[in-house]
């Protein structure tokens, strides 16, 4: 028998969880972990017969948690003649406990609309909750090829690192990449165990454990330079189910702590765009001439404010004022006539 896994095809998280749910519903006596890893779609492609499947077993443990979070009753059954031996534990989903209540049902059209909403939500936010919702909707019925799904808007991710980071997180891989921080002349290589990819203030962030620093860090995907590479022989530490919420909470706290005071030219593009954001951030309307903005990254805000040119005046903090001024001066210098520069 072959000791190497099948070539790995692209199996999405939803497809793997859905296949696992179907397999566990279809069995009466339950399946052992070895049965699942060697036969279920999404596992069997990576399963090594008589080999090391530690990373795959960790994946299965995370998937079990995801299934239970869906509200699906996953049971474990011990061998009567060998209680307490986890090797021979069997897993199953009792059909009766997973059925919808008798007073709840969805028509075919309703299922299509629900799945469409879940698909768009998933593509736009990489939400773990939306992934689980789509898996559960699939289990309720309806074909994946319903024509209505062809009308789902495609929300494309521009950051090239998005997809490899998502894969690494799903497979508990450690990755390395070059990261260029503002003000640094050259990028620095980082080794990170990804824990979550989240969207905050319309930008994608990686939340993970920086192995060199020995602490969690948040990285802006747009500052990752070059390819994301898997680090061999390193396995990412277990990540809790609330990593995404933790990352967003930290970004929200950072935004709340960073305050910028600016003045804008009444009636200008800056007044319209920044004025709405300032009102939303404070919970009430502000005079258009003076605005208070919250931000997570000073350099990103400086890039934005400098784009408005003379329509914006930064009052504080001084570091933001200096950063905007520096950008405006560089634009001026870049457009000087050649005879003036020489």
Residue 55 lies in a domain: yes
**pTM of whole model > 0.85?**
no
Q: Each residue of 327-336: pLDDT tens digit? A: 999 888 887 7
Closest CA to 216 of 185, 242, 200, 195: 195
* CATH number for the domain that contains residue 94: 1.10.10
User: Which pLDDT band, with edges at 50, 70 and 90, does 147 fall under?
Assistant: very low
Residues 249 and 262 in one domain: no
Identify the pLDDT of residue 259.
Answer: 92
Number of domains in the chain: 4
Identify the pLDDT of residue 143.
Answer: 45
**Between residues 183 and 303, the one the model is more confident about:** 303
Domain boundary among 254, 273, 288: 254
Residue 341 lies in a domain: no
Q: In this structure, are residues 120 and 152 in contact, taking their beta carbons and an 8 Å threshold?
A: yes
Identify the pLDDT of residue 173.
Answer: 87
Domain boundary among 254, 274, 291: 254
Would the pLDDT of 278 be above 80?
no
Identify the pLDDT of residue 121.
Answer: 44
The whole domain housing 246 covers 162-254
Residues 278 and 228 in one domain: no
Label residues 240-254 b or e (16+ Cβ within 10 Å = b). eeebbebbbebbeee
Residues 130 and 211 in one domain: no
**Between residues 170 and 155, the one the model is more confident about:** 170
d(CA 155, CA 29): 43
Residue 340 lies in a domain: no
Write down the residue that tokens 């891989």 correspond to: 173
* CATH number for the domain that contains residue 211: 2.30.30
């Amino acid at each position: 028998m072959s000791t190497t896994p099948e070539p790995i095809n692209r199996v999405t998280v939803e497809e793997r969880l859905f296949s696992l749910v179907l397999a566990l519903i279809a069995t009466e006596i339950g399946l052992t972990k070895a049965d699942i890893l060697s036969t279920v779609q999404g596992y069997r492609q990576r399963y090594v017969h008589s080999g090391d499947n530690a990373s795959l077993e960790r994946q299965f443990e995370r998937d079990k948690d995801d299934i239970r979070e869906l509200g699906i009753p996953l049971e474990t059954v011990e061998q009567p003649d060998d209680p307490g031996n986890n090797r021979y534990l069997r897993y199953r989903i009792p059909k009766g406990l997973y059925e919808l209540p008798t007073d709840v049902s969805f028509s075919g059209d309703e299922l299509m609309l629900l799945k469409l909403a879940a698909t768009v939500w998933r593509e736009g936010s990489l939400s773990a909750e939306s992934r689980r919702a789509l898996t559960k909707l699939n289990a309720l019925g309806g074909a994946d090829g319903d024509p209505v799904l062809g009308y789902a808007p495609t929300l494309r991710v521009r950051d090239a690192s998005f997809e490899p980071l998502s894969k690494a997180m799903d497979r508990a891989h450690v990755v390395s990449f070059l990261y260029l921080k503002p003000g640094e002349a050259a990028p620095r290589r980082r080794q990170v165990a990804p824990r979550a990819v989240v969207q905050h203030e319309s930008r994608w962030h990686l939340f993970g454990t920086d192995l060199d620093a020995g602490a969690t860090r948040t990285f802006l995907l747009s500052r990752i330079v070059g390819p994301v590479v898997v680090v061999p022989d390193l396995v990412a530490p277990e990540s809790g189910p609330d990593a995404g919420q933790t990352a967003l909470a930290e970004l929200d706290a950072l935004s709340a702590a960073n305050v910028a005071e600016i003045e804008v030219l009444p009636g200008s593009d800056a007044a319209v765009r920044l004025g709405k954001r300032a009102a939303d951030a404070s919970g009430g309307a502000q005079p258009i001439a003076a605005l208070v903005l919250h931000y997570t990254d000073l350099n990103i805000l400086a890039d934005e404010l400098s784009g408005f040119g003379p329509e914006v005046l930064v009052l504080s903090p001084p570091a933001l004022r200096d950063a905007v001024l520096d950008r405006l001066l560089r634009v001026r210098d870049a457009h000087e006539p050649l005879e003036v520069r020489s």
